Amino acid sequence: MTGIRALLFDVFGTLVDWRTSVAREAEAVLAPLGHALDWSAFADDWRARYQPAMEAVRCGLEPYVALDELHRRNLDAVLASRGIELDEARCRHLNLAWHRLDAWPDVGTGLAALRESFLLAPCSNGNIALMVALARRNGWHWDAILGAEPARAYKPQPLVYLHAVAALGLTPAETLMVAAHAADLAAAGALGLRTAFLARAAEYGQPNPADQPDFPVDFHVDSLPALAAQLRAGG
């Protein structure tokens, strides 16, 4: 694996525990108003609308809009489906739950170890403001913030990965895409990027077979420190 100079990271699920964090944020806003819900199911419902919302952009039905806006549309739909009405200030605050996600326990140590030898950047469908908020919350230090908003497209469209690689002045073969989702890695690998599968069995509260790659990847690890160790050892 010599020749790798930069690592690109999927963020939701790969670096952050969105499910637990969104459930916590929803409870903090809605429980004081008298709502008693399955908070994890609320988070799952909100997340389930993520891919369909982006697909309208991918297939050209609407122009690119930032994920914060798509999250807000989806939140309005989730609330309406439960008969919940919120004032605008509370809706705005709850929508920014995605800016307040907590990292998985291994991420801080792992990123610090990787940063000693490689350029690091998110390659996420999250917009720049969202990525900045997560970095500041969790103490991450990126060399750049790349992904959907700079490319004006959503993964797994090739432009997102290729724009990120080009922005760092590298070739795909010099770039390692790290993700917990097979589709993300399949798209990156098809473009010549190296691939690292980072297993996150607890992302949805239980293992999701669809996230397991059924194709060869360059690395298969269960933590970022383990990835750093393998890279130091040359793969």
pLDDT tens digits in sequence order for the chain, 235 residues long: 569 999 999 999 999 999 999 999 999 999 999 999 999 999 999 999 999 999 999 999 999 999 999 999 999 999 999 999 999 999 999 999 999 999 999 999 999 999 999 999 999 999 999 999 999 999 999 999 999 999 999 999 999 999 999 999 999 999 999 999 999 999 999 999 999 999 998 898 876 766 789 999 999 999 999 999 999 987 5
Same domain, 136 and 194: yes
What local confidence, expressed as pLDDT, does residue 1 receive? Answer: 53
Domains: count for the chain:
2
Residue 108 neighbours by CB distance under 10 Å: 15
- Sequence-distant (≥ 6) Cβ neighbours of residue 232 within 8 angstroms: 117
Same domain, 142 and 193: yes
Domain termination site, one of 84, 99, 114: 99
Tokens, residue 4: 């790798």
Tokens 């991450």 correspond to: 140
Q: How far is CA 82 from its chain centroid?
A: 26
Per residue, the 3-state secondary structure of 63-86, as one string, reads CCCCHHHHHHHHHHHHHHHCCCCC
Residue 72 neighbours by CB distance under 10 Å: 17
Same domain, 73 and 125: no
Is residue 1 domain-resident? no
> What pTM was estimated for this model as a whole?
0.95
Same domain, 151 and 197: yes
What local confidence, expressed as pLDDT, does residue 209 receive? Answer: 65
Give the domain range for residue 66.
18-99
What local confidence, expressed as pLDDT, does residue 230 receive? Answer: 95
Same domain, 34 and 112: no
Same domain, 126 and 226: yes
